[in-house]
Amino acid sequence: MRVFLAGSTGVVGRRLLPLLIADGHHVTALTRRPERAAGLRAAGAEPVVADARDGRALAAAVRDSAPDVVVHQLTDLGRADLTANSELRRVGTRHLVNAALDAGARRIVAQSIAWAYAGGDGPAAEDTPLDRDAPEPRRSTVHGVAALEEAVGEAPEWVVLRYGMFHGPGTWFAPDGVRAGDARAGRLVAKGDVTSFVHVDDAAAAAVAALNWPTGAVNICDDHPAAAYEWMPAFCAAVGAPPPPVDRGAERPAWARGADNTRARTELGWVAHHPCWRDAFAIRPASR
């Protein structure tokens, strides 16, 4: 297939690109940064330099690549700026979908999140409505996600990958990531809010599989949603931080419920090779 990969240099895109090339796809890889083009070419892709906020430039780039599929792995989280990321979800996605439709792409596969669901008990399945009535600042995040998902849904075929919280190399939860820094600075408190994690390698593998999945939204998360008072002490220990204060009595925000991966596992045959965050956050015994 001819694939246009937006977000080719991000934490998922870097893993996804070699998987697509190895499967024999022709990949056009988007970056804003000219200095990254040579690396993308060396990886086997056709690089293209454009900013997704520039609709005209993006339309030309997508049209020239004549894609069968557009893969949307764009985020603007390098500075952990959630406002900028919501803006990219709204504006960048709008431009990318317009460009994909104009270019005659058949399918769009897009990155979303698995923690935008409305509140309730237990992990949320895909038919749970999005939490559009949430107060700020969550409201802006949810509405950015909704705008992204609605735009992607205009494609003839589409898959929205609602990813859990990434862990693994290059993520916020790596030993050099921002959450590890928070942990070492004593900024984390372990309460009852529930998170579903996913290793970035599993996230990338799902994006490859989604080239052939039926239209719809799918949670891509590991098998063990966990309360912060479960995972956070393990994470802190793994990154050399002191144990976090634990507050088991704090009320769980209703939306912080984790996500159910049953559809991915049973309907689509997706397998998490990192089925539990616990293994990633386990303390490695010192070698003797």
Ligand X SMILES: NC(=O)c1ccc[n+]([C@@H]2O[C@H](COP(=O)([O-])OP(=O)(O)OC[C@H]3O[C@@H](n4cnc5c(N)ncnc54)[C@H](OP(=O)(O)O)[C@@H]3O)[C@@H](O)[C@H]2O)c1
Among 22, 41, 64, 78, binds ligand X (CB under 6 A): 78
Closest CA to 220 of 179, 258, 181, 171: 258
Scanning residues 30 to 59, which ones bind ligand X (CB under 6 A)? 30-33, 36, 51-53
Residues 152-171, one symbol each (x = binds ligand X by CB under 6 A, - = not), give -----------x-xx---xx
In the chain, at which residue ranges do the beta strands (DSSP E only) sit?
Answer: 2-6, 26-31, 46-49, 69-72, 107-113, 157-163, 165-167, 194-195, 197-199, 216-220, 226-227
Q: Phi-psi region for residue 184, left (φ > 0), alpha (ψ -120 to 50) or beta?
A: alpha
76 binds ligand X (CB under 6 A): yes
Side chain identity, residue 155:
A
Residue with tokens 């609605």: 150
Minimum distance from residue 29 beta carbon to ligand X (Å): 9
Closest distance to ligand X from the beta carbon of 287 (Å): 28
Distance separating alpha carbons of residues 165 and 231, to the nearest angstrom: 12
Closest contact distance (angstroms) between CB of 207 and ligand X is: 12
**Which CB sits closer to ligand X, 116 or 241?**
116
The beta strand positions in 46-120, using DSSP E, are 46-49, 69-72, 107-113
Q: State which of positions 213-272 bind ligand X (CB under 6 A).
A: none
Q: Which is nearer to ligand X, 33 or 248 (CB)?
A: 33
Q: Which positions lie near ligand X, rule CB under 6 A?
A: 7-11, 13, 30-33, 36, 51-53, 74-78, 88, 92, 113, 163, 165-166, 170-172, 177
